[in-house]
Structure 1
């Protein structure tokens, strides 16, 4: 009878398969898949590399590897994604948190700290799994946290994440600001809306193929939802309140123009670590 493979052998096989499939970080992702299969962290996998893998572990690792080789995002395979200092549960019904969105969190925290109130009201529009609002609430526990999304599934994921993290967030279902009735006022509104052009070929490649198109693409070359939020958010802001938006790397100038046309002041844009204009904000 053939001896079962060791964990080291299984890990090497996963790495080779992922590398052949064109995965950018095959070693890292192989360890992540094997950790998900065995429940062991990286240090434990190293220490126990000569241990035999069970038949069930080998089969589970193979199934996960096949999914990744087919292009399915690691976040969906693992059911989670690290963002900011948090571990967030994710699912195919909502946008996967991305590192560039941490810039919006940083800017929102800076704005919150300048407000002349001990318990600012903060609203996140299109919250998905609660990415932005949970990061803000984790850093500034005294904020009154609110979030909305049109997707019931996304709100369920956000609620699950909030509960797991022990963070209180009030959630509304609705399309952008349409969820807000009667019209409450906020000190800060954040939003990471869909901003990809529907004809962008990247939508048919990589992880984007597995994410909801409504969370990624918008009409008017990706600007429709940005414009809608800009045009409708101001009545929901307190005097001196801020609107902060994430947008595409080439949309900064048009977003600034729209903010200024809508009557916002102190309009400016921040660049992400890659040097791309990524977050624009304006004050009521």
Structure 2
């Protein structure tokens, strides 16, 4: 039996697990972010990694192009990691949960390599597979989440987060989006994934929203000008000394950038496909 997330998907693909490729068609799904809202789960099994310890801010600042020393609890920040050539190794989101506790998304396995080679007073732990990760975007997204949580969420400013509850389960609501419209993320314990999802989807469906598949997810990223690692550009993991050796004993962690097949007009020159923050308009970081 399909889980409730994959229910109604007319195309699925295997990425170690079944991922919804399309539900009602990419056009309907994309347009939902303009008129009502879409509910997406493409990032539900994201690489999640915690950094804890008194030197956490200094550590993050030392490995990222941006500064974390003034970051405050309850905030979210974009993080970009580069190698010695200035090529992007990965980018993602850092959430500050407590004074010495940060949760990162899509920075692993690169961040784990740096943790294992750091002399700072920190510790790192993988949270992948332990936390669900939903996205909702569109003009009705706030209305939907307020009905789901039975609370006022208007105090959550952009790039901020706080706790709430949905269907009797603790969740964390983040105001962050990639569709160019009002958007939020809902995070929580993986054990409550389906029960929280079914509640959000019931309300979203009642408001005329759509489920979002992989095709429309990528299109939304492109349309809104948010380049996506592994989709819009590859990462030089196996071309970067230290990280290459680290991944040699962890092939499953590096599979996105292992055995690449180069197609398209760019040709067979892999180096020309790697990018810097300046190439993506992120020089302000």
TM-score (normalizing by structure 2) = 0.27
Higher helix share: 1
> Whose strand fraction is larger, Structure 1's or Structure 2's?
2
Larger of the two Rg values belongs to structure: 1
Which of structures 1 and 2 has the larger relative contact order (alpha carbons within 8 angstroms, sep 6+)?
2
TM-score, normalised by the number of residues in structure 1: 0.27
